[in-house]
Amino acid sequence: MDNGRRRPPPPPETLYTSYPFPTLSTNPRELATMTEVTFAKQFLAALDSRPLKLSADHVEDPRSYPARSAYTLPRPSKPMSKPKNRGVGDGGPPGSERSFTVVIKSLRNPPLDLKLTSQTPNTSMLDLKAAVAAELAGGVAPEKIKLLYKKKPVVDSKVLKELAEEGGPTTLEFSVMGTSGSETLQSPEFWDDLKGFLLQRIRDEKEATKVFDTFQTAWKAKG
């Protein structure tokens, strides 16, 4: 006890305090030669000399963990949307695609009432036109046929799955737009029908042919 005062207890010894750091009494040249690598090596050697507190096969007891209450996620500000059903042609497993029934009608000449079943979702309007052309007599070219869906024309590149509503009916109805008068008169089918009509009404092949030639010559002269 100095001057009636008690000295404070010495600090506890730690690895840091037990390390032989250079003091001010050390030669300045020795301080200059003390490099970081030397310090690191000596520090690691001091660590190895200390006893291990945990063994290599130490396993922590989960029961010693501090108790925590269950964490509940906050409710989202917006409700989560339900997953959409996979539409036709969306890469589902084979056989899961819907098949369509296509009904094509025409009230004009020539009349048509065509029903195509088991059509794939990727059936295009051009495919339907080819089916209509094969059904009509006279070899009508598919590009001359115009299809209407819900009274609106559709382009050849459209496919059935683009027109069908998701989860809607699988029967699609189309109508055929009638050809114009000039296109009808230019078709050989019209003149064959006219010649057959004249022959049926006149009942004389020679006279029917004469009247037919008169009609056809007058039409060509007008054009």
**Residue 110 and residue 149: Cα distance in Å, rounded?**
19
The full set of domain ranges for the chain reads 100-179, 186-222
- CATH class of the domain whose range is 186-222: mainly alpha
Given this model, what pLDDT does residue 34 score? 61
Q: Is-contact 116 128, C-beta < 8 A?
A: yes
Given this model, what pLDDT does residue 91 score? 47
**Residue 150 and residue 173: Cα distance in Å, rounded?**
8
Topology classification of domain 100-179:
Ubiquitin-like (UB roll) (3.10.20)
> Given the structure tokens 């029917």, which residue do they identify?
208
Helix ranges, the chain (H): 15-18, 28-33, 36-49, 125-135, 160-163, 181-186, 188-202, 205-222
Given this model, what pLDDT does residue 90 score? 46
Predicted structure pTM score:
0.41
Render each residue's pLDDT in the chain as its tens digit; 223 residues. Answer: 455 567 766 666 655 555 555 554 556 566 555 667 788 888 888 888 887 777 778 888 888 888 888 888 888 888 877 765 554 444 455 555 678 999 988 867 667 888 999 899 999 999 988 888 888 766 677 887 888 888 888 888 889 988 887 777 888 889 887 655 555 666 677 778 888 888 888 888 888 888 888 888 887 777 6
Cα–Cα nearest to 125, from 107, 111, 146: 146
Q: How far apart are the first and last CA of the chain?
A: 137
DSSP 180: P
φ and ψ at 163, to 5 degrees? Answer: -95, -30
Given this model, what pLDDT does residue 84 score? 59
CB count in 10 Å sphere of residue 70: 4
